Structure 1
Amino acid sequence: MAWIALVVAGLFEMFGVTMINKLHKDHSWQPFALLIVGFAGSFLFLAYALQALPMGTAYAIWTGIGAAGGAITGMVLYGESKHWKRVLFIIMILGAVIGLKLVS
């Protein structure tokens, strides 16, 4: 269950980062409120996961999901560069996240 909570925390992190970008473009209260919900959910699920998982592993996986997910979201939704080198490094981040899961 802790691993599921950690993945959910990473997804909330991605959502929060997406809302930061939306808030930057649309200065209204809705993206701000969703940003708060995203990061609050992220920290809540991360805290739950940390009850059962080692801190270093959980934090690395959480940030990896957030970083890779944020980059992918930027490419898909906001037209950011899809250069092959960028995609390669995102794949490397995801590979490291999966590797940490396998050895933990």
Structure 2
Amino acid sequence: MAWLAIIGAGICEVFGVIGMKGVADHKGWKFYLLMACSFVLSFSLLSYAMTSLSMGTAYAVWTGIGTVGSAVVGMLMFGEKKEWKRMMFISMILVSAIGLKLIS
């Protein structure tokens, strides 16, 4: 269950960043609500996962999912650059997170 919590926490982190982008661009209350609820749920799930997983592994995987997810969302939804270097480094983050899962 801890690994599912980490994955959920990472996904919530991405929604929180989408809310943050909405706040920066539009400043509507819906974006504030999305950002706040997503981050609260993300931190709660991360905290739960840390009861069974090591802190370093849980935090690294959580930030990896959030980073990769936010970068992909930025490219797909917000028109950020899709260059090969960026894709390569995103892939490296994914491989690192998978490696941490395999050795945990």
Compute the TM-score of the two structures, normalised by the length of structure 1.
0.98
The 5 Å alignment of 1:75-90 reads 75-90=75-90
Q: What is the aligned partner in structure 2 of residue 64 from structure 1?
A: 64
**Partners in 1 of 2:77 and 2:47 — Cα distance?**
29
Alignment partner of 2:27: what SS? Answer: coil
Amino acid at match of 1:6: I
Contact 2:5 2:49 in 1 (8 A): yes
Q: What is the aligned partner in structure 1 of residue 102 from structure 2?
A: 102
Q: Name segments (4+ residues, structure 1) moved above 4 Å.
A: none
Unaligned residue ranges in structure 2 (runs of 5+): none
**Partners in 2 of 1:67 and 1:33 — Cα distance?**
21
Compute the TM-score of the two structures, normalised by the length of structure 2.
0.98
Unaligned residue ranges in structure 1 (runs of 5+): none
Give 1:28 shift: 1.2
Give 1:66 shift: 0.4
Deviations along 1:9-41, whole A, 9 cap, x unmatched?
000001101111111111111100110001001
Amino acid at match of 1:48: Y
Aligned length: 104
